[in-house]
Amino acid sequence: MLRWLRPRTLLVAGLAAACLLGGYILGLRDAAGTGQLRPPAPAELSAADQRAFGVVWETLTELERDYYRRDQLNPDQLAAAAARGMVAAVGDPYTTLSSPQQSELTTAQLRGSFEGVGLELDRGTGQLRVVAALADSPAEKAGVRSGDAIVSVDGLDITALSLDEVASQIRGPRGTSVTLGLLRDGTTPLEVALVRETIKVESVRSRLLPGAVPIAYVRIAVFSEPASQQLREQLGQLLAQGSKAVVLDLRGNPGGYLTSAVDVTSDFVKDGVVLYQDRGGPQSARQPYRTTGNPQAGDLPIAVLVDRGSASAAEIVAAALRDNQRAVLVGEKTFGKGTVQEIHKLSDDSQLHVTVAQWLTPTGHAVQGEGLLPDVEAPAVEGRDAALDAAVQYLLHGPANG
């Protein structure tokens, strides 16, 4: 995304059908009553699945036998199309199959750099929209906003394309240009011309806010691999300068790794639950993820800045700090990404993201489709950072009503 919660799991071949389509000649047998040979369904599948997927093998056999341009049949393309169709039929917007190229881009983003325009995208509601524009990216500099819908790329209507296909058109080598057709607030059409750059993702940026009372300001742009270590280093420096409170800015943060979210929360909460993972069983089976101990700022007051671009791992941290009575949320309602995906690397280097659970806040609330409401509302205001101002005032003086 990034724009999704990604626990770091073992990478295993998770789609036997896709892996075996290209190797169908290993076990031919007579197809039902036709006298033609067809490959068997993989033995790992249940008997019911083997019967159901017989049509896949039969279709492949008939194409290989009868299609008039058999020399143009590409086993890799046929296998990929079959796999994409299966994933689409699941009907879950976050269970997805990404190409090797898109998988490489996602991995690069979470490791620190990539070439493109710096957009996090989502198609959870059917319409392709912007979750966030990364800080200092071409997209942010051009004014692309969270919530903007993308309707065209270089004049091509992309409404019928997959998220992966659109991302492939938007990214590209640095120095090249791309024009995005946007729809803002559902009604206003815009065209934005962008020049691709090398996007270096600085996961954490921080500074000491000016004022009589020293307050640490820490912005986490994405929960990447190095985010928690960067936080510890920078937060330690600010605490050494006498910080009396912390503003944690998670606006426009589309998420990242679960482990990073747990580690970041652990810098502010000594002993508490970060989230519960619910795989659909009884409530007693919910898996708690707890803080790891040894917080740097376990007692300082915290205000967390959130907006509609705060999603997934960002929502986990925000909810965990509030539910553990360590912070107030300031800003706007968050995105509402409350499911967990595990990543399976397939034999062709594509990645299968499978929704395996939903996550719940420490107090047991589901976030999927709902988001988090701020304790202090501070909508965006042209010309000033209203949310930051409100957070500082809260930390210095408490609630506005006294």
Domain annotation for the chain: domains and CATH numbers? 16-23+39-92 (no CATH), 114-199 (2.30.42.10), 204-397 (3.90.226.10)
- Residue 36: what pLDDT? 42
Q: Does pLDDT of 77 surpass 90?
A: no
Q: Does pLDDT of 171 surpass 70?
A: yes
- Residue 274: what pLDDT? 97
From start to end of 185-306, where are the E strands?
188-195, 197-200, 204-209, 215-220, 245-249, 273-278, 287-290, 302-306
Q: What is the pLDDT of residues 279-324, one digit of tens each?
A: 887 877 899 999 998 899 999 999 999 999 999 999 999 999 999 9
Q: Does pLDDT of 182 surpass 90?
A: yes
- Residue 42: what pLDDT? 61
- Residue 210: what pLDDT? 92
The mean pLDDT value for 133-148 works out to 89
DSSP at 53: T
Share of the chain above pLDDT 70, in %: 87
Instruction: Out of 31-40, 217-226, 267-276, pick the least confident.
Output: 31-40
Rounded mean pLDDT of the chain? 84
Instruction: Out of 8-12, 66-70, 157-161, pick the least confident.
Output: 8-12
pTM reported for the whole predicted model: 0.69
Residue 185 is among the residues annotated as catalytic for this protein = no
Measured distance CA(311)–CA(101) in Å, rounded: 24
311 burial level (CB within 10 Å; 0-12, 13-18, 19+): buried
How confident is residue 11, by pLDDT bands cut at 50, 70 and 90?
Answer: very low
Residue 337 is among the residues annotated as catalytic for this protein = yes
- Residue 57: what pLDDT? 84
- Residue 43: what pLDDT? 60
> Between residues 279 and 361, which one has the greater pLDDT?
361
From 206, 263, 323, 350, the catalytic residue: 323
How confident is residue 109, by pLDDT bands cut at 50, 70 and 90?
Answer: low
Residue 312 is among the residues annotated as catalytic for this protein = yes
- Residue 41: what pLDDT? 54
Q: What is the pLDDT of residues 14-51, one digit of tens each?
A: 222 222 222 222 222 233 334 444 455 566 778 888 78
For residue 373, CA distances in Å to 44, 229, 315, 329, 330 come to 45, 29, 11, 8, 9
| Counts for the chain of helices (H) and strands (E), in that order | 11, 21
For residue 338, CA distances in Å to 28, 178, 194, 224, 256 come to 44, 32, 31, 18, 13
From start to end of 71-200, where are the E strands?
96-98, 113-116, 119-122, 129-133, 149-153, 156-157, 177-184, 188-195, 197-200
In residues, how long is the chain? 402
How confident is residue 401, by pLDDT bands cut at 50, 70 and 90?
Answer: low
- Residue 40: what pLDDT? 52
> Between residues 52 and 178, which one has the greater pLDDT?
178
> Between residues 135 and 197, which one has the greater pLDDT?
197
From 98, 103, 312, 350, the catalytic residue: 312
